Amino acid sequence: MHSHHSALGLASALRPVQPVTLIRPHAARRAARFFVERFPGRSLYAVKANPSPDLLRILWEEGVTHYDVASIAEVKLVAETLPEAVICFMHPVKAEEAIADAYFNHNVRTFSLDTEEELEKIVRATRGATDLNLLVRIRVSSDYSKLSLASKFGAEPAEMKALLMATRQAADALGICFHVGSQAMTPAAYSEAMERVRAAIVEAAVTVDIVDVGGGFPSSYPGMEPPPLEAYFDVIHRAFEDLPVSYSSELWCEPGRALCAEYASVLVRVERRRGDQLYINDGAYGALFDAAHIGWRFPVRLVRASASEARDMAFSFYGPTCDDMDHMAGPFMLPADVDAGDYVEIGMLGAYGCAMRTGFNGFGATLNVLADDEPMATLYGGVEQERQVPSNVVTL
């Protein structure tokens, strides 16, 4: 893998025809250390956000030892990449064969569920194992988050008493988990969810060993500048301390976006301009799935040797495929003189962008290049970071 200081250095040296993913390992290291050192419990990386083996190894080196997976393929990926990692199968609906494979072949002992049917499935698949950590997922509000995760999974509060009591009988360690939705914009999302957890524990009168507040920890995007992450941690810690659980109970979280969003950006080339529309060589079927399908606004900047003196204006993007749906409405603010042949860096794509890329229409090939400059936005600006360049990197 080659290395450049920045997107400008890359564009000037290579003039790439295909999109280029700029990888910033130092940003992922910084985020991982932040969670390991400051979250008042255990942090599980949500692998779905970015399953890159290189990223998994970076997080492991910085102290992230537990990994939240949603499929048997992710179980195998983590097991092969990090043989000593603790794998937690946190999808509430799993194939019975996947449960058995995870338990007997990959040492997975932690599973989530939100129905008695799923509990029975886990017990059958593990042949009545007595060493299970079973976390019951409760449905909570996603009102404070940019992407809802409230409709698909989670037991209703009225269902929790019976489900917790039944799960307590099968579990070595019993837990409650929830997910407030992706990109939670206020710590209140977690305090309100923890009130539901409290009510469920009181009503069921069971001993709870693990409370998992899930993911939802935000990153910074245009129009979505959240409070400091410490504010989230403080609210969660206070709420956990007030729960009717034992002193030995564990607090978990499952950051995905917050650990990897700053890890990567993408350098694209403008192939055509039509008014306020730019045709670029990446799009909805590549790293910009979220920009196209849910209107996510990513930070952008024009990459040109001589700084533009033109005022900024709002642009939308079209991707390289033949599909009208390959459209990113934005608005993306760029200098008004941007034109065909220019390069644009699109930031904060380490989360989901890299994971969602396809080869539709023959597009999708990208070059990965290390960059040692800062990401386009960060929530970890005050955290010192020693940057390390692997010995196999060629610097141009």
Q: Kindly report, residue by residue over 307-324, the tens digit of the pLDDT.
A: 899 999 999 999 999 998
The single residue listed with the structure tokens 């995905």 is 256
pLDDT by residue (tens digit) across 8-62?
888 888 898 999 999 999 999 999 999 999 999 999 999 999 999 999 999 999 9
Of the candidates 272, 264, 267, the residue with the CA atom closest to the CA atom of residue 315: 272
DSSP reduced 3-state for 326? coil
Average pLDDT, the chain: 92
**CA-only gyration radius of the chain, Å:** 22
Contact, 350 vs 261, CB < 8 A?
yes
pLDDT band at 384 (very low <50, low <70, confident <90, very high): low
Omega cis (within 30) before 331? yes
pLDDT at 383: 62
Task: Write down all domains in the chain, each with its CATH number in brackets.
Answer: 2-23+262-395 (2.40.37.10), 26-260 (3.20.20.10)
- Pairing status of strand 145-147 against strand 182-184: antiparallel
Whether the pLDDT of residue 112 is over 80: the answer is yes
pLDDT at 208 over 80: yes
% of the chain at pLDDT higher than 90: 80
For residue 78, what are the CA distances in angstroms to 18, 65, 89, 240, 263?
A: 30, 11, 11, 29, 19
Residue 243 contacts residue 201 (beta carbons within 8 Å): yes
pLDDT tens-place string over residues 140-196: 988 888 887 777 888 999 999 999 999 999 999 999 999 999 999 999 999 999 999
Give the range among 122-131, 239-248, 351-360 with minimum mean pLDDT: 351-360
What pLDDT, on a 0 to 100 scale, did the predictor assign at position 13? 81
Fill in the DSSP letter of residue 380.
Answer: -
Angle at 345 between CA 340 and CA 346, to 5 degrees: 115
- 386 has a pLDDT exceeding 50: no
Q: What is the pLDDT of residues 215-248, one digit of tens each?
A: 999 999 998 999 999 999 999 999 999 999 988 9
Q: What is the largest CA-CA distance in the chain?
A: 69
Task: Locate 261 and state its tokens.
Answer: 């969003």
Percent of the chain with pLDDT strictly greater than 70: 95
Q: Is the pLDDT of residue 325 over 60?
A: yes
CA-to-CA distance for 130 and 172, rounded, in angstroms? 6
Residue 108's contacts (CB-CB under 8 Å, 6 or more residues apart) are 75, 87, 88, 89, 102
Residue 151 has what DSSP assignment? S
Q: Is the pLDDT confidence value at 389 over 50?
A: no
Please give the pLDDT value at position 382.
67
pLDDT at 10: 81
Query: What is the predicted pLDDT for the residue at 76?
Result: 98
Least confident piece of the model among 8-17, 63-72, 82-91, 165-174: 8-17
What is this structure's pTM? Answer: 0.92
Residues 6+ apart with CB under 8 A from 77: 47, 51, 53, 56, 69
**Position 74, amino acid:** E
Report strand pairing: 367-371 vs 2-4.
parallel
